[in-house]
Structure 1
Amino acid sequence: MSVIDSLLAENAEAVLRESLSNVVRHAAADTVTVTVTVSVYDNLTIEVADNGVGIPDDAVIRRLDNLAARARQANGRFSIDTTAGGGTTIHWSAPLP
């Protein structure tokens, strides 16, 4: 038995696929870290962090709107952190069913 239903699993898979695809295609990173957790607060959380060139401000909404839409659909949250010296961390979370 899984604590994640099929819709949440589908969203999580898509978030991972798109996040990693963006790192490979755009980040020019040589390191990426993926963390997937189920918290004591009953949330599924995905973080994808890279040490690449970062995301230009004008590209954030255009490239990653699908991830935000998936978070809204799952009653979750989505955010992006960029580091001044380069690197991006995508945070995506949704409550468990």
Structure 2
Amino acid sequence: MKAVLGDTVIAEANDDDLIRIEGNWYFPPASVNESFLSESPTPYTCPWKGECQYFTVTVDGQDPLPDRAWSYPHPYPTAFERVGKDFSGYVAFWKEVQVVD
């Protein structure tokens, strides 16, 4: 699967390497092109996953898209049990960044 913004691939991984949480596909850290992401100051803590890190997505000089990607760098240990896998640092995308086959 790929996370794309227009024709630009931001992340790409085999389906088996992704994790689906609450309807969102999370890509392994090594599959994400971090040059398109910059840390956002938006704070959020999920009651069951833990502290979230949002990212602004910027591609080829287009207007930055704040908070269109996010990750849980250090999820709560109980979240691993709920998801069935360690998803530390995995990245999910939203809105304009589409996840496609």
Q: TM-score, normalised by structure 1?
A: 0.30
Question: More helix per residue: 1 or 2?
Answer: 1
Q: TM-score, normalised by structure 2?
A: 0.30
